[in-house]
Amino acid sequence: MLATALIVTLATAPPPSATLPRVPGMRLRLGMTEGQVLAAGSFITLGTPEGAAVLRKGPARFFGVLGEATVVLRGGLLSEVRFEANGVGAHSQDYVNDQLRMLSLERQCQTDEPGSRVCDLTSSSFRLHLEMTQGRVSAHTFPWPPPPDAGTPGGADSAAAGGAAPAPVATLPETLTITPASRNRPDAWPRILPGPPVQYPEKAKQESIQGVVWMIALVDTSGVVMNAAIERGIPELNQAALAWVRSTKFSPCRRNDAPCRYAVRVPAYFTLY
């Protein structure tokens, strides 16, 4: 009986911290338990949770740069880390950039010059979105490919009615971007198909809170959003933005004559005037 209990305990215990993917430049690892996260830093719970997630914030270092990190825990495990620092000198930014270049990460950048860097750095288990402007460093680390949201209905990637698993589908290695001005031309993807507009929270309207919430959505082969996460948000508007993008349909993707999933960076605009 004791042996059986021990086997069950070992089977359900979280994996050792050393086997989890490390967040570059930090002491944290994706998949850590909440206890392990709290042992690694001083994080206080934020008053504005995102859905079923628990958010904690506290001081942290990213390759030695002092700033503030927001850790996102889902199901008691660390699923995202967002780091921000202001007043960062050019030499410190160059040091961070050099350290990241030394890692074995696929690097794709919109801009990659001193004082103006916007890059996605991808490994086999996580992606880091990096932004470095004059005096500011921002880094968002999350699992890659993003796990499908089990609560999202349908889509070409869903299991068949008989319970059979779908055939493996490739996910594009790069994150695509919706062009804010034109939303891409009709024959291109990713393109948002016509649908309901973003619902502006009444409380945010009353408090004159406005701005742009940036999200990353994982889109399946039929154009249905499988999962979505905030990349750069506004606490009072995040839930409305996520609800909108999860109900949005995108144009399907094909590459090399085969259907594929893709991740897309999507803005949700909240403007009063």
Which has the higher per-residue pLDDT, 60 or 259? 60
Same domain, 139 and 179: no
pLDDT for 56 equals 87
Range of the domain at 234: 171-270
Same domain, 177 and 109: no
pLDDT at 12 over 70: no
80 burial (CB, 10 Å; 0-12 / 13-18 / 19+) is buried
Same domain, 80 and 33: yes
Distance (Å) of CA 174 to CA 32, 155, 203: 26, 21, 36
Q: Which residue has the tokens 């979105």?
A: 129
In a domain, 157, yes or no: no
* 31 vs 16: CA distance, rounded Å: 10
* 186 vs 254: CA distance, rounded Å: 15
Core vs surface per residue 199-233: b (16+ CB within 10 A) or e = ebbeebeeeebbeebbbbbbbbbebbbbbbbbbbb
The domain that contains 62 carries what CATH number? Answer: 3.40.1000
Nearest to 245 by CA among 149, 173, 120: 149
Per-residue pLDDT, averaged over 109-119, amounts to 87
Same domain, 48 and 90: yes
What percent of the chain shows pLDDT beyond 90? Answer: 32
Q: Which residue has the tokens 């993917």?
A: 21
Strands (E), the chain: 44-45, 54-62, 65-74, 77-86, 106-113, 116-122, 126-133, 136-143, 171-177, 211-219, 225-232, 253-255, 258-270
The domain that contains 241 carries what CATH number? Answer: 3.30.2420.10
CB 174 within 8 A of CB 255: no
pLDDT for 5 equals 41
In a domain, 155, yes or no: no
pLDDT at 157 over 70: no
Same domain, 214 and 133: no
Same domain, 126 and 181: no
pLDDT at 51 over 60: no
β-bridge partners, 118: 111, 131
In a domain, 65, yes or no: yes
β-bridge partners, 266: 215
Provide the number of structural domains found in the chain: 2
pLDDT at 185 over 70: no
